[in-house]
Structure 1
Amino acid sequence: MSFIAAIKSVFSQYVGFTGRARRSEYWWFFLFTILVSIVTAALDSALGLNFVDGSSSGLIGTIVSLALLLPGLAVAVRRLHDTDRTGWWLLIALVPIVGAIVLIVFFVQGGTPGPNRFGASPKD
């Protein structure tokens, strides 16, 4: 799946928490959010829109982050579904350090071949 196709797929299922997502779809969207964050941080800094409290985010970055939150959660849940795990596994991220490592391992694993309890394989 190409970069553009992955981004279109994620936004077409903006709040779709059912089904499955391929690894490439998840990781391309992850890269997209990183790039957008860099651009918005630069815009906030150039336009002087950083918050007074010294945080690195600003007005534009906050708005864009909120806009990307739901599709990011949705594609993460669908990625977990592809590995035959429920979306509730995202809550393991609340465990400091270990939770993030466990999620990264889940996200890089291949999906279950053929259909699973969450639907047909996205590769088919």
Structure 2
Amino acid sequence: MFNWYKKVVFENYANFNGRARRSEYWYFTLFNLIFSVITMAIDKALNLEIGLNTVYGLAVFIPGLAVAFRRLHDIGKSGWLLVIIYLAMIICAAVMVGASLSALSGVASPEGFGIGVIIAGVVVFGLAIWLLVMFCTNGDVGENKYGPDPKADGSEDISQIGVE
């Protein structure tokens, strides 16, 4: 399992080409979460504001983005779709924050921005769910325009364990 993490971080650090199977993406995500929690705990124990967690986050940002691109490639989608989704989420989040700050500061009435905040929240939630579904979708069988099927190498996929 840890081999998937090592493959993403050390072998494919900034490789945005090709395809990544579900197990590669999700094991990287799992170990990334574990290491993030550990580094946050160390930072908290040492009372550091900018410490190991920040350094770790910066170190794995590029490989995390690259494996997400390759995961989308595995289902036949462009990795740039991820950038578009993230930009839409950032814009919607900015609308929600701006509306909240405007209402709190008295610049505008809270009622006037309520519908905008609700719409922005629904858009962010919908995009997050759609992205999650894409990351969980089984990859294209055989070669697609982004490269050969990563399952064709004969290695075992976690989704096939116990299936006959």
> Which one is further off, 105-114 or 95-104?
95-104
Tell me the distance in 1 between the aligned counterparts of 2:141 and 2:40.
40
Tell me the distance in 2 between the aligned counterparts of 1:15 and 1:98.
28
TM value normalised by structure 1: 0.88
Tell me the distance in 2 between the aligned counterparts of 1:9 and 1:48.
32
Aligned residues: 115
Q: Which runs of 5 or more residues in structure 2 are unaligned?
A: 90-123, 153-164
Q: Are 2:67 and 1:67 equivalent residues in the alignment?
A: no
Tell me the distance in 2 between the aligned counterparts of 1:59 and 1:5.
26
Residue 72 of structure 2 contacts residue 135 of structure 2 at CA under 8 Å; is this kept in 1? yes
2:72 corresponds to: 80
Q: What's the secondary structure of 1:123's corresponding residue?
A: helix
Between the aligned residues of both structures, percent identity stands at 45
Q: What's the secondary structure of 1:86's corresponding residue?
A: coil
How do residues 101-112 of structure 1 correspond to structure 2 at under 5 angstroms? 101-112=129-140
Bigger fraction of residues in helix: 2
Which string of whole-angstrom CA distances, capped at 9 and with x for unpartnered residues, describes residues 57-107 of structure 1?
A: x42111110001000000000000000000011121333222211110100
How do residues 38-77 of structure 1 correspond to structure 2 at under 5 angstroms? 38-50=37-49, 58-77=50-69
Tell me how far 1:111 sits from its aligned partner.
Answer: 0.2
Tell me which structure has the larger Cα radius of gyration.
2
Tell me the distance in 2 between the aligned counterparts of 1:29 and 1:66.
15
Tell me the distance in 1 between the aligned counterparts of 2:142 and 2:22.
15
Q: Are 2:149 and 1:121 equivalent residues in the alignment?
A: yes
